Amino acid sequence: MKIMITGGAGFIGSNLVKYLIQETDASCVVIDKLTYAGNLDSLADVADHPHFQFEKIDIVCPQAVEETITRNKPDALMHLAAESHVDRSIDAPAEFIQSNIVGTFQLLTAARKYYNQLPDDRKSRFRFLHVSTDEVYGSLNMSDPAFSESTPYAPHSPYSASKAAADHLVRAWHDTYRLPVVITNCSNNYGPCQFPEKLIPLVILKAIHGEPIPIYGNGQNIRDWLHVVDHARALYAVLTKGRIGETYNIGANNEISNIELVEQICGILDQQIPIDQNPRFSNDQKNSIETYRDLITMVADRPGHDLRYAIDAAKIETELGWRAEKDFADSLIETVGWYLENENWWSRMLSNDQLKRRGMLPCD
């Protein structure tokens, strides 16, 4: 199977590509614009593999998208390319409209044209998998049941609204044009190669540099955390076994508040790189700070901050036999260790001038 993957140099995309090449017989054609969050270093493990190919493409450009699909002749298309940072969407929503809505439209248009020209045997195998987010469902109260595939959409940020719009476009292309699509909505991902503006890597890097660790509001917002490798496994299961036209929610039942998560990360750092052994800390800092928890700083909440996300993954578990395998506590320790051991990766990411100018706030 030849799979074309948009956004394959990003966090989830790069982990998906590595999973597909290392654990399946698939070959991957990665297309990525290489914005601030795209990084070819994340694909270094498979860059020389005969089943890997990369093309720098902006999916908003219809000619480039159509030409790339026609030339590569994929058996499936997995659409992960998206602007995904809520804070950035509040500051600059136009970029999210372009990438997430217009980009998805251009991809659907090109995929439909390509699909219609396929012989019947290849048509029967072709799939368009659209990767979305649980944020399209809005916010849950503490006692509400988890999001299911039938939960009404109620997005609250420009980011989640743009992803909701993209989801609707994908469904419309199935219902109107019979394009064979499947949609997934996942919970918060964590693991290696995540851009350092997201909550977990941000906390790690702020802490080891002795900087204040910013937490929005009172820190009680709850998220369900899914390891990115479990997510990759789920996406492959949906692509190969999912029913056309269906949506599958992907979550790991790891609900935890932001403040509890940050405190856990700080506790792991206390074990892995004690403050008195941290070469980045001055002697004054080592004398004044006993634990990384002392760096936690509450900041003003962001507009429209959703209280709680939770995923009911019963459908994908029952229909496709997928279940999250990663233990959250163990995987969180491994994730912290990965960032401590891969400074070359994140230091290059943080050298981006745009990020330096803007500064970083936590996005959960």
- The pLDDT tens digits for 292-336 are 999 999 999 988 899 999 999 999 999 999 999 999 999 999 999
Least confident of 150-154, 212-216, 223-227, 345-349: 345-349
User: Domains in the chain, please, with CATH?
Assistant: 2-193+226-253+308-327 (3.40.50.720)
Render pLDDT for 145-166 as a digit per residue (tens, 0 to 9).
Answer: 999 999 999 999 999 999 999 9
Quick check: is 153 catalytic? no
- At 360, the pLDDT band (50, 70, 90 cuts) reads very low
Quick check: is 135 catalytic? yes
Render pLDDT for 126-150 as a digit per residue (tens, 0 to 9).
Answer: 999 999 999 999 999 999 999 999 9
Q: Identify the pLDDT of residue 90.
A: 86
pLDDT at 361 over 70: no
Average pLDDT, whole number, for the chain?
Answer: 94
Q: Identify the pLDDT of residue 363.
A: 47
Residue 162 burial (C-beta neighbours within 10 Å; 0-12, 13-18, 19+): buried
| Active-site option among 115, 159, 216, 292 | 159
Quick check: is 121 catalytic? no
Q: Identify the pLDDT of residue 352.
A: 56
Looking only at the bridges linking them, the beta strands covering 127-133 and 181-186 are parallel
| Active-site option among 83, 87, 135, 263 | 135
